[in-house]
Structure 1
Amino acid sequence: MKKGILLIMVLVAFLACKNDSKSKESSESVENQEEKTEKQSDGLVLMKGEFVYFADAAVLQTNSNSIYGVVIDDKMHELDKMAQHYKKEPTDYVNVEIRVKIIPKPENEEGWPFRVEIKEILKVDKSQIEDEVIKLGSE
């Protein structure tokens, strides 16, 4: 009888520890994903990263090194207009904080697997990364 009770207690303790490790793993994976907005019910995601628009291509690289194509629409052009104040060269990145809708890329098009459609622009700032660019030319 005592062995049966001891066995049940060990199993309960084991299962409790197993569930605890799963919840830790799932909370860590959520932290690694893009941050959710405060308004979680609207389906939008808060993304922070570097944005560039050049030659009819718009790209967002997040802080977790994920890269997304950006849907070119009025909101994207509004963001690009705001970004012009922080750029020295047309190919410079700017730091942005935006709320987006993530959509899969159409199968018949090239590019990254997911695109983002900008719904709200929260912050635009100069990129902290200073790339060394060598320019060729005569002065």
Structure 2
Amino acid sequence: MKKLIFLLVLAVTFTSCKNEPKKESIETNDGRTEKQSDGLTLLKGEFVYYSDAAVLQTNSQIYGVILNDKVDEINKQAIPFKKEDTDFVLVEVRGKIMPKPEGEEGWDNRIEIKEILNVSALKSEADNVVKLGTN
């Protein structure tokens, strides 16, 4: 009788456990997480937005930035880090990279920013900057 009660309690214990999948990193069939499989690219570099044109310069390439609400949001976040409107800021963004349409001027590749991860000040290189102007 004791063995029967023990087995019944044991069976109830194991069947009452829940197996819930982790929501942190759901993997797809190819081993990538959901965020890695969304077709967006992570880029880190220097960003400037001035007079209806924006550019993102990474260590290896320069991208023309497609103007959208995210560009305006980066520009607002960059205000505290800029001394002049033409100053660069460091950004970390995720976006969709596409080639420049035929017959248009500009950089070979464009990026449409979809997600802003970080905006920070560019390290000061004031000693290396030459400004031209009249006094």
Fold equivalence (TM over 0.5): yes
* Alignment match of 1:51 (pick from 21, 37, 47): 47
TM-score by length of 1: 0.67
Q: Which residue matches 1:83?
A: 78
1:86 Cα deviation from its structure 2 partner: 0.5
Identity of aligned residues (%): 61
Q: Give distance in 2, aligned partners of 1:110 and 1:125.
A: 29
1:130 Cα deviation from its structure 2 partner: 1.6
* Higher gyration radius (CA): 2
**In structure 1, what residue type is equivalent to 2:119?**
V
Q: Give distance in 2, aligned partners of 1:47 and 1:38.
A: 18
1:38 Cα deviation from its structure 2 partner: 7.8
Aligned pairs for 1:1-139 within 5 A: 39-64=35-60, 66-131=61-126, 132-134=129-131, 136-138=133-135
**In structure 1, what residue type is equivalent to 2:113?**
I
Which 4+ runs in 1 deviate beyond 3 A? 135-138
CA RMSD, aligned part only? 1.8
Q: What is the number of residues matched between the two proteins?
A: 101
**In structure 2, what residue type is equivalent to 1:49?**
G
Give unpaired runs (5+ residues) of structure 1.
Answer: 1-36
TM-score by length of 2: 0.68
Give unpaired runs (5+ residues) of structure 2.
Answer: 1-32
